[in-house]
Amino acid sequence: MGEVGDNVQPRSYWRWKKQDFFPEESFQNWGTYRFALSQAHHRFKDRLISRSNDAEEIEELRKQSENDMKRCLTWWDLTWFGFGSVIGAGIFVLTGQEAHDHAGPAIVLSYVASGVSAMLSVFCYTEFAVEIPVAGGSFAYLRIELGDFAAFITAGNILLESIVGTAAVARSWTSYFATLLNRQPESLRIHTSLTDGYNLLDPIAVAVLAISATIAMISTRKTSYFNWIASAINTVVIVFVIVAGFAHAKTSNLTPFLPFGAKGIFQAAAIVYFAYGGFDNIATMAEETKDPARDIPLGLLGSMSIITVIYCLMALALAMMQKYADIDRNAAYSVAFQSVGMKWAKYLVALGALKGMTTVLLVGALGQPRYVTHIARAHMIPPWFALVHPKTGTPINATLLITILAACIALFSSLNVLAGLLSLIGD
């Protein structure tokens, strides 16, 4: 796709000409730009009511990337990517907070309710991804169903939440790494005289983001291999938490089972639903899947089914180890194991959370740039970000954009600031 004719050499991937950033006629000179501004009302109306179609998304827009992404993923890869994108630090933090504040032992029912909601979302993503197997994910689906304007607003919100969320996970990675070294969470950050909330620089978070992005840019297939290894280690830790938790479980801790009533279950469910977030990244890998009609349903539904069972078992194990009122809101599993005489287990919990966050960052480094790639294909941002590297088969420019933005935020912003911003975006 990089050649126009037999005698035309393929264009270099690394190019910086104006035509690669602003190819539209409106940007050719000041006269055409002023004319475009005078037509802003009509152009906005066109964007508002126009719709894309399957053929345009699957065939025409992909040509904007000049090279195809490599179809190298199977249902097995997608299952592990789904596992890696969802199993992160959320289960280790949100479970304790919501069990203590809202649901009590019924936190397991909150995870069931959230799992059902997440599964319904997965069914929707699966159907669209099978019919429209492109890198755009929900952006491409919305362009067809609701038009460009709705797609752009939604994609912008998703990307903003993803970038901020990625920065938050990277900052958390540093905190858990410090815990694993038996140090205070803030001890590995650089203290400065900047404004409170931005005065703790985190170069480790930037390094982790850079490493994840580099792996993702080199090869999607090799990224899958790395994800297998990290997810396998994380699985071992999760199995330990479940088995050891039930080994020290007391059924008396389940009484009262509904201390906050049914309302508490649904309040907690609304929060712990975020622990299931990330599966939408898998839909953006449809363009790199060998057989989307078979692999995407198996990968998405298979991974989410397993994850729902795991979350429910982990929540039940925690609820049976300690009375809900004694559960620590910030380090639930570490304190629970300490209460049953397994102080050393906090390091294993930290390792599990660390590995979980590593896979979340890795899958995010794959999924988020593919959103950007398809948005650039539609020329809603400069098409330079739509280019796919001819050798790696990955969107390096889009990956660099997402990584640089997330790294800048992660370097300065504290977890409290990022958590507040995520809450605002989510609302």
**Coil, strand or helix: which one is 288?**
helix
pLDDT at residue 2 in the model: 45
Overall average pLDDT of the 203-230 stretch: 90
Overall average pLDDT of the 190-194 stretch: 87
Q: Looking at the domain assignment, is residue 15 inside a domain?
A: no
Q: pLDDT band at residue 10, thresholds of 50, 70 and 90?
A: low
Q: 168-188, pLDDT tens digit by residue?
A: 888 888 888 887 787 877 888
Averaged pLDDT of the chain: 84
Q: Looking at the domain assignment, is residue 61 inside a domain?
A: no
pLDDT at residue 409 in the model: 92
Q: pLDDT band at residue 403, thresholds of 50, 70 and 90?
A: very high
CB-based contacts of 13-22 (< 8 A; 24+ apart in sequence): 13/387, 13/389, 13/390, 13/396, 20/382, 20/383, 20/384, 21/382, 21/383, 21/384, 22/382
Q: pLDDT band at residue 278, thresholds of 50, 70 and 90?
A: confident
Tell whether the model's pLDDT for residue 385 goes beyond 50.
yes
Q: Looking at the domain assignment, is residue 346 inside a domain?
A: yes
Q: Whole-prediction pTM value?
A: 0.83
Tell whether the model's pLDDT for residue 1 goes beyond 80.
no
The residue segments making up the domain with residue 412 are 70-152+166-426
In 295-391, which ranges are E strands? none
Q: Looking at the domain assignment, is residue 294 inside a domain?
A: yes
Q: 323-356, pLDDT tens digit by residue?
A: 888 887 767 888 788 888 888 887 888 788 788 8
Tell whether the model's pLDDT for residue 7 goes beyond 70.
no
Q: What percent of the chain lies above the pLDDT cut of 70? A: 94
Count of domains forming the chain: 1
What contacts 81, CB < 8 A, 6 or more positions away?
Answer: 73, 224, 227, 281, 282, 285, 299, 303, 363, 366
Burial of 79 (C-beta count, 10 Å sphere; 0-12/13-18/19+): buried
Q: 75-88, pLDDT tens digit by residue?
A: 998 888 888 888 76
Tell whether the model's pLDDT for residue 210 goes beyond 90.
yes
Residue 87's CATH number: 1.20.1740.10
* Centroid of chain to Cα 390: 26
Q: Looking at the domain assignment, is residue 310 inside a domain?
A: yes
What contacts 225, CB < 8 A, 6 or more positions away?
Answer: none
Q: 121-159, pLDDT tens digit by residue?
A: 888 888 888 888 888 788 888 888 888 888 888 878 878
Q: 220-277, pLDDT tens digit by residue?
A: 888 888 888 888 888 888 888 899 889 888 888 888 888 888 888 888 888 788 777 7
Q: Looking at the domain assignment, is residue 12 inside a domain?
A: no
Q: pLDDT band at residue 381, thresholds of 50, 70 and 90?
A: confident
